[in-house]
Structures are given as structure tokens and as C-alpha cells.
Amino acid sequence: MKKHVIDFMHRGLVASVGGPVILAIVYLCIQGGGEAMTLTVNEVVLGILTSALMAFIAAGISVVYQIEKLPLMWASFIQAIVLYLDYLLIYLLNGWLKSELKVILIFTVCFVAGYIVIWTMIYFMSIRPSINKINRKIQES
């Protein structure tokens, strides 16, 4: 367990450096959507700290795949829930999403669709070929 906590911290700290980059991209997207804004110092500080936290959690949670006794389906489910809550709560806290049911439902649909697409790509490009390779070696033995 200690190893997983250390891995979580290491992955999170490495990724959290990208928090300000994430923030810059979000603000550019908001501006590109026609929402020109002036930010206070508190808004900038909150944005930097929360986007670093968001990156920390998103990278750190990938440690669930290193837990041997945890089935892949459960690890994926845990990661999906943590990422969803991580993104949703930070987006709402920063005002990047409106606190409206319709907006949250659209975000949820986009998140689920994106997660499924990414996991399908990972499965067919990485996991499935690895399983096939292991099965061939077992059959040759």
C-alpha cells in the first residue's frame, strides 16, 4: 500500500506542473468562445492552484492499475469516477461550468463518451495485442 501512495504522489507531483498550462488553455478556450474577461488576482491564484490539483489527481489516480488484486474493470471504474469528480468539481469551483443541470448533463455525456473512446483505443492498441502475445507464448509452451 505504501508503494501505491508513493507512486500516486510521484505521478501527481510530476503532472501538477502542467496545471498552469491547463489553466492557460482553458482561459484561451473561454476567450475563443467570445467570453472576454478580466480576472482578479484571487481568480488567477484559484485557477492556478486548482488546475495544478486537478492534474495531480488525474495523474495520481492511474496508480489503481498497479494494484495487482484489483480487476481491470474495477480499476477503470475507480479511475473514471475519480476523474469525473475531479474535473466536474474544479470546473464548477472555478466557474468554468455553470451550475445548471443541463450544463452538467452535457459535461457528463461528453466525459463518458470521451472516456469510452479513449479506453476503446487503449484496449485495441495496447491491451488486446499484449493479451494475444501472452496467449501465443502459453500455447507454444
Same structural domain, 70 and 2: yes
Is residue 91 situated within a structural domain? no
Same structural domain, 108 and 41: no
Same structural domain, 120 and 77: no
Cell 485557477 found at: 47
Same structural domain, 59 and 120: no
% pLDDT > 70, the chain: 99
CA distance 98 to 119: 28
Cell 448533463 found at: 105
Same structural domain, 80 and 106: no
Same structural domain, 48 and 20: yes
Domain count, the chain: 2
Nearest residue to 60 (alpha-carbon basis) of 91, 22, 3, 15: 15
Same structural domain, 2 and 25: yes
Same structural domain, 66 and 3: yes
Residues 79-128 pLDDT 10s: 999 999 999 999 999 988 999 999 999 999 999 999 999 988 888 887 77
Q: What would the grid cell of residue 85 be?
A: 469528480
Is residue 127 situated within a structural domain? yes
CA distance 94 to 78: 24
Residues 76-93 pLDDT 10s: 999 999 999 999 999 999
Cell 466557474 found at: 95
Would you state the pLDDT for residue 36?
67
Range of the domain at 72: 1-86
Residue 46 CA to its chain's centroid (Å): 19
Question: Which among 42, 57, 86 is the end of a domain?
Answer: 86
Same structural domain, 82 and 107: no
3-state DSSP helix/strand/coil % of the chain, to nearest 5: 85, 0, 15
* Under 8 Å between Cβ of 52 and 20: yes
C-alpha count within 13 angstroms, C-beta hemisphere, residue 54: 24
Is residue 93 situated within a structural domain? no
